[in-house]
Amino acid sequence: MASLLTNPTITTGRDQVYVASLPLRARKGPAQLLLSAVYSLNLWDFQHFMVIIKPHLPPPHDSQALVYDFQPKDPENLYVALAVLSGKAVEGAVLNRKLPKLPRSKCWFIGYCKGNAIDVACEFNKNWETNLRVGRHDCRNYTNGLVESLTGEKYVLERLRTSTGV
């Protein structure tokens, strides 16, 4: 599937906001192979979503991006996976890290932040409840909420799901 990653027109001084997806993580072996196969079929519900901020920075730092996501604290633990699948709440973690560049696939440009994106994300993360419950309070809710705080767009994942046909 081709990515909807676009080359947005450069807007001076505004941080770019993207949403990306990755396969769900599992222990090595059959579970990991199954999740990877499901992900390759583009089944929307078996993807992990995250927000990427590309701050407006001068060269040579202009290709760096920051990833923000929410996932179980120990996503590869079998007991955590069973608890998640049974609908129980598990301890979650809000993560952020640097990327040297944007992903080439399954990454969509959403828009521009109305303020300093890093400050907005930090404030959002301070108030985010870290008990994770799939379907009620998970990476999808986190992505939708953070994108709304950054750009004002509500329910971004529904728009992406509709526009990508997945």
CA-nearest of 19, 45, 57, 47 to 150 is 19
Decide which of 107 and 42 is more confident.
Answer: 107
For residue 2, pLDDT over 50 is answered with: no
User: With contact defined as beta carbons under 8 Å apart, do 96 and 34 qualify?
Assistant: no
pLDDT band, residue 70 (cuts 50/70/90) = very high
For residue 71, pLDDT over 50 is answered with: yes
CA-nearest of 58, 84, 82 to 71 is 84
Tell how strand 90-99 and strand 47-54 pair up.
Answer: unpaired
Condensed to tens digits (0 to 9), the pLDDT of residues 91-101 reads: 999 999 999 88
CA-nearest of 53, 76, 44 to 140 is 44
Mean pLDDT, residues 63-86:
83
For residue 52, pLDDT over 50 is answered with: yes
CA-nearest of 37, 55, 54 to 46 is 37
Q: Residue 5's pLDDT is what?
A: 45
Q: Percent of the chain, pLDDT > 90? A: 51
User: pTM for this structure?
Assistant: 0.81
Condensed to tens digits (0 to 9), the pLDDT of residues 119-132 reads: 999 999 999 999 99
Q: Residue 4's pLDDT is what?
A: 45
Average of per-residue pLDDT values in the chain? 82
User: With contact defined as beta carbons under 8 Å apart, do 99 and 67 qualify?
Assistant: yes
d(CA 101, CA 8): 15
pLDDT band, residue 32 (cuts 50/70/90) = low
The sign one gets for the Cα dihedral 109, 113, 118, 123 is negative
For residue 148, pLDDT over 90 is answered with: yes
Domain segments of the chain as ranges = 16-153
d(CA 36, CA 2): 18
